[in-house]
Chain A
Amino acid sequence: MSSLSVTGPGAPGSSAPDSEPVRGMSPLRHACKRFLRHRSAVLSACVLTLIVLACLLGPMMLAYDYDATDWDNLARPPGAVPGHYLGTDELGRDVLVRMLIGARVSLLVGVLGAAASTLIGVAWGATAGFLGGRIDGLMMRVVDMLYAIPYLLIAILIITLLGREFYLVILTITAFSWMDMARVVRGQTLTLRTREFVDAARAMGVPSRRIITRHIIPNLMGLVVVYAAVIVPAVMLVESVLSFLGLGVQEPMTSLGVLVHDGAAVMESLPWLLLAPGLLLSVILLCSNYVGDGLRDAFDPK
């Protein structure tokens, strides 16, 4: 009997063999299994993993720094100089290294922004959904008001006034991307609150706080994971837009959006400066969206 110890819900993992010993399978593990059957999502996840690894390790393995200039090789196309695999820009900086560093920043903005949005969104939405009534109405009107504000205008204002800082970019993006999560979580909480197992838990004498942590939040997880996965590319896109408008991170630090912006200026003479980061950004966004789709299908099979 000791071998049947109580453990947490099935850990998400890719190692879900079909011939498992018969043992309770959590909805989360079912979702993982379904996700693994989603070809394009799995492929996208692999590509994303590769890109992330390249971003983390690549700059260390390449001979050039992202801000080091190679005066002998200015504006060389890909392949023209050995060592500069994707060529150099007009200041002689290695495009591949700059791109990987830029993707690092973009991904970081995406993940941090999405994490912050998720935290705020879940807290806001769950609170509104639980308390209900007048407080719910008030909190949701705040969300509506934020929706009505043109975020780009405010973002430009904040960044112009307070400076082009990395954390400010994330803060600004977060401030305008948590509302979707809040709405979705609130809706789900409202329906969960009336589910019979919540009443059943209450009838068992479980206090409200524990009902929230033990019964409501786990039931929200699937939805939150799906939405968080969708927010990541959305945030990255907003960062690119801001960078493209010249409001991204400060030179010589860069991001994919900044690179695309700079590349677009010399598109006719030095096209690889636009194509390389543009392509990478597109691939990252496409893959993130596929992964998001796969997660949604896995958690909500319809």
Chain B
Amino acid sequence: MNEIVLNVNDLGVRFAGHAGQQVHAVDGLSFALARGRSLGIVGESGSGKSQSVLAMMRLLAPGGQASGTVMFGRTNLLTLPERRLNQLRGNRIAMIFQDPMTALNPYLRVSRQMTEVLVRHLGLTARQARTRAIAALEAVRISDAARRIDMYPHEFSGGMRQRVMIAMALLCEPDVLIADEPTTALDVTVQADILALLRERQQTCGTSIIFITHDLGVVAELCDEVVVMYGGRMMEHAPVHRLFATPEHPYTARLLASVPRMDQRAARLFSIPGQPPDITARQHGCPFVARCSHAKTLCQVQPPPYVTHASGGLACHFPQARSTLEFTGT
């Protein structure tokens, strides 16, 4: 039941910056993903969440260096030769990109882009692939799929294109689906639709999902577990209910506090003061120290170790006592 499909251990992403200095975009990311489960990775812009999944897919921009291990079954994706990797990508591991407007090739019919995957990975004939692709489009509720499949991407709306992307990613019923902010570029009304669809497809295909977002509402709706990232590091990892009910890391607590709530009137929305850390500068202490109201001297000088426990993990010297948790604002 709880078979681990993807095991990420101490994943790091470095970029060669100017004058030979190294920029650590991601540092020490570790988690295990069980079959059929969904994991949310949340964080602000620049927290390294996108870079970590790009590293897992070996899609880092030139100059990016990944370290650690990403075990898919018994193979380490980071050291796999390109040819073997291409047999897995799109087949056993698929990815959905943030902007459906740019993630489809404008010069190719949707049918070509979809059947290419099937012919390549499953060895289907063109005709079989076409039938299957049409079925996949129907599964993401694109009406009149048999006709629409011969259209070009610009003839679809944004929401429809994202459905096409989802259909395409799930064509080979992958074990792992990585979704990098798949709803950010879409209308709010379309967002809910796409999320419902993702969840439905996930359940029918038995796929595990890594869901990257900065929208905590989406996480609550879709994910079983959450990893909170900040400044390229893991702050907290917990089951979604535990995280929302009793966040242990001050950053998580404040992130939750800044979500607008419909049931409470607030004169002013809460926001975390300060700016995310500059990852080009070498950090000594906890990355969140400058913005943390609970910071002590220890936090300034020593980065808190990431400590795992039964249902997740935490990187904080002074975790929030669950009962005394309160937000004092600024």
The chain A residues found within 8 Å of chain B, CB to CB, are: 1, 4, 6, 9, 22-28, 132-133, 194-197, 199-208, 214-215, 218-219, 221
* Min CB gap A222→B, angstroms: 9
- A204-B108 in contact (CB<8A): no
- B151-A203 in contact (CB<8A): no
- B155-A206 in contact (CB<8A): no
- The 5 A-B pairs at the shortest CB distance, nearest first, are namely A204-B90, A205-B90, A24-B151, A205-B89, A203-B95
- A4-B97 in contact (CB<8A): no
Beyond A6-B111, A6-B130, A24-B109, whether A204 also contacts B89 by CB under 8 A is yes
* Min CB gap B233→A, angstroms: 25
- A6-B99 in contact (CB<8A): no
Instruction: Find B108's partner among A25, A208, A214, A221 (CB 8 Å cutoff).
Output: A214
- A218-B107 in contact (CB<8A): yes
Could you give 8 example pairs across A and B, Cβ below 8 Å? A25-B155, A133-B62, A200-B95, A203-B59, A204-B94, A205-B120, A219-B105, A219-B106
- Expressed in whole angstroms, the Cα–Cα distance for A132 and B112 within the complex equals 29
- Expressed in whole angstroms, the Cα–Cα distance for A6 and B121 within the complex equals 20
B150 interface residue (CB < 8 Å to A): yes
- Expressed in whole angstroms, the Cα–Cα distance for A6 and B108 within the complex equals 11
Instruction: Find A207's partner among B82, B105, B115, B146 (CB 8 Å cutoff).
Output: B82
Most B C-beta atoms less than 10 A away, residue of A22, A23, A196, A200: A200
- A200-B104 in contact (CB<8A): yes
- Expressed in whole angstroms, the Cα–Cα distance for A221 and B108 within the complex equals 13
Instruction: Find B107's partner among A4, A26, A132, A199 (CB 8 Å cutoff).
Output: A26
- B86-A206 in contact (CB<8A): yes
**B129-172 Cβ-contact flags toward A at 8 Å (1 or 0):** 01000000000000000110011101100000000010010000
Question: Which of chain A's residues has its CB closest to B131's CB?
Answer: A1
B57 interface residue (CB < 8 Å to A): yes
* Min CB gap B19→A, angstroms: 18
B308 interface residue (CB < 8 Å to A): no
- Expressed in whole angstroms, the Cα–Cα distance for A133 and B61 within the complex equals 13
Question: Which of chain B's residues has its CB closest to A208's CB?
Answer: B82
- B94-A203 in contact (CB<8A): yes
- A205-B91 in contact (CB<8A): yes
- Expressed in whole angstroms, the Cα–Cα distance for A22 and B104 within the complex equals 21
* Min CB gap B123→A, angstroms: 13
B88 interface residue (CB < 8 Å to A): yes
- B86-A207 in contact (CB<8A): yes
- Expressed in whole angstroms, the Cα–Cα distance for A206 and B57 within the complex equals 13
- Expressed in whole angstroms, the Cα–Cα distance for A92 and B168 within the complex equals 72
Beyond A24-B155, A26-B107, A218-B107, whether A204 also contacts B116 by CB under 8 A is yes
Contact residues, B251-276 vs A (CB, 8 A): none
- B102-A202 in contact (CB<8A): no
Question: Which of chain A's residues has its CB closest to B58's CB?
Answer: A202
Question: Which of chain B's residues has its CB closest to A193's CB?
Answer: B62
B83 interface residue (CB < 8 Å to A): yes
- Expressed in whole angstroms, the Cα–Cα distance for A196 and B90 within the complex equals 15
- B87-A205 in contact (CB<8A): yes
- A196-B82 in contact (CB<8A): no
Which residues on A sit within 8 Å (CB–CB) of B111? 6
Task: List 19 additional A-B contacts (Cβ < 8 Å) besides A196-B103, A203-B97.
Answer: A4-B150, A6-B112, A6-B115, A22-B147, A24-B150, A194-B61, A195-B102, A197-B105, A200-B97, A203-B95, A204-B94, A204-B120, A205-B89, A205-B91, A205-B120, A214-B116, A215-B108, A218-B105, A218-B107
- Expressed in whole angstroms, the Cα–Cα distance for A195 and B98 within the complex equals 12
- A206-B102 in contact (CB<8A): no
- B87-A199 in contact (CB<8A): no
- A27-B105 in contact (CB<8A): no
- A206-B107 in contact (CB<8A): no
* Min CB gap A135→B, angstroms: 12
Beyond A1-B146, A196-B102, whether A6 also contacts B90 by CB under 8 A is no
B117 interface residue (CB < 8 Å to A): yes
B126 interface residue (CB < 8 Å to A): yes
* Min CB gap B209→A, angstroms: 15
Instruction: Find B117's partner among A1, A9, A204, A214 (CB 8 Å cutoff).
Output: A204
- A25-B152 in contact (CB<8A): yes
- Expressed in whole angstroms, the Cα–Cα distance for A25 and B153 within the complex equals 10
Which residues on B sit within 8 Å (CB–CB) of A205? 85-91, 117, 120-121
Which residues on A sit within 8 Å (CB–CB) of B82? 207-208
Which residues on A sit within 8 Å (CB–CB) of B104? 197, 200
- Expressed in whole angstroms, the Cα–Cα distance for A200 and B178 within the complex equals 12
Question: Which of chain A's residues has its CB closest to B106's CB?
Answer: A27
- Expressed in whole angstroms, the Cα–Cα distance for A274 and B132 within the complex equals 68
Question: Which of chain A's residues has its CB closest to B86's CB?
Answer: A205
**B317-330 Cβ-contact flags toward A at 8 Å (1 or 0):** 00000000000000
Which residues on A sit within 8 Å (CB–CB) of B95? 200, 203
Instruction: Find A27's partner among B62, B87, B152 (CB 8 Å cutoff).
Output: B152
* Min CB gap B213→A, angstroms: 17
* Min CB gap A301→B, angstroms: 13
- Expressed in whole angstroms, the Cα–Cα distance for A204 and B105 within the complex equals 13
Contact residues, B38-81 vs A (CB, 8 A): 57, 59, 61-62
Question: Which of chain B's residues has its CB closest to A218's CB?
Answer: B107
Question: Which of chain B's residues has its CB closest to A29's CB?
Answer: B152
Contact residues, B208-240 vs A (CB, 8 A): none
* Min CB gap B132→A, angstroms: 13
Question: Which of chain A's residues has its CB closest to B129's CB?
Answer: A6
Instruction: Find A132's partner among B62, B106, B121, B165 (CB 8 Å cutoff).
Output: B62
